[in-house]
Amino acid sequence: MSIKAVAVFCGSRSGTNSLFALHARQLGTMLAHRGITLIYGGGSKGIMAEIANAVLENNGRVVGIIPKLLNELESRHNAISEILEVPDMHTRKRMLYEKCDAAVILPGGYGTLDEFFEILTWNQLNIHDKKIIIMNSAGFYDHLIKHLQTMEEQQFLYHKILDKLSIVNEPGEIIF
C-alpha cells in the first residue's frame, strides 16, 4: 500500500526538550519531500505548528482538522493548505483516521495519548490495519513503552506490541 497521507498526533505545546521540535520539523520536511500529505489537529502552537510549518516551508500539503472548542486553545493555523472545522473531538479523531494511510505519534499530552490509544485499539480490533509509529524522541515514551510491554507480558493484549506498531527514536528511522 502506498502512503499518500500521514496523521501526526502531537502536542499543542512544545515541551521542555528542543529535540521534540527538531524531530517534528525533520518529519515535516521528510513528508513534504516524499509528497505525503500531513493530516493533523490544525493548531498553530507547539509541536503541531513545528511540523505543519516544516511541511509548508517545503511546499508540502497540510490538512488540519480542528474542533470548534479548540479554535482558541490550539490557535487554529490559518496558513495551511486546508482546514476543516468539526463539531467535536470524536468527529476530529474519526476524520484523522479516515484521511490517513499511517500515523506517527510525537511527544504530546492527554490528547496525543487519546488519539494514539484509539487508533491502536482500532488496529487491534481489525477496524483498520494502518501503520502506527511511535517517535520516542529523547526517550519521551520510554515509560509508556514499558507499560505496553507489561500489558503484553501479563497477557492483556491479543497481539505482540511490535505486530501493531513500530517504535523509532528519530525521523530517519521511519519506513513508510
Q: Please tell me the pTM assigned to this model.
A: 0.95
Which tens digit of pLDDT belongs to each residue from 110-137?
A: 999 999 999 999 998 888 889 999 999 9
User: Which residue, 21, 2, 1, is CA-closest to 108?
Assistant: 21
Which tens digit of pLDDT belongs to each residue from 16-36?
A: 999 999 999 999 999 999 999
- Which residue is listed with cell 476524520? 95
* Cβ atoms within 10 Å of 76's Cβ, excluding its own: 19
C-alpha pair distances (Å), 116 with each of 70, 112, 131: 19, 6, 12
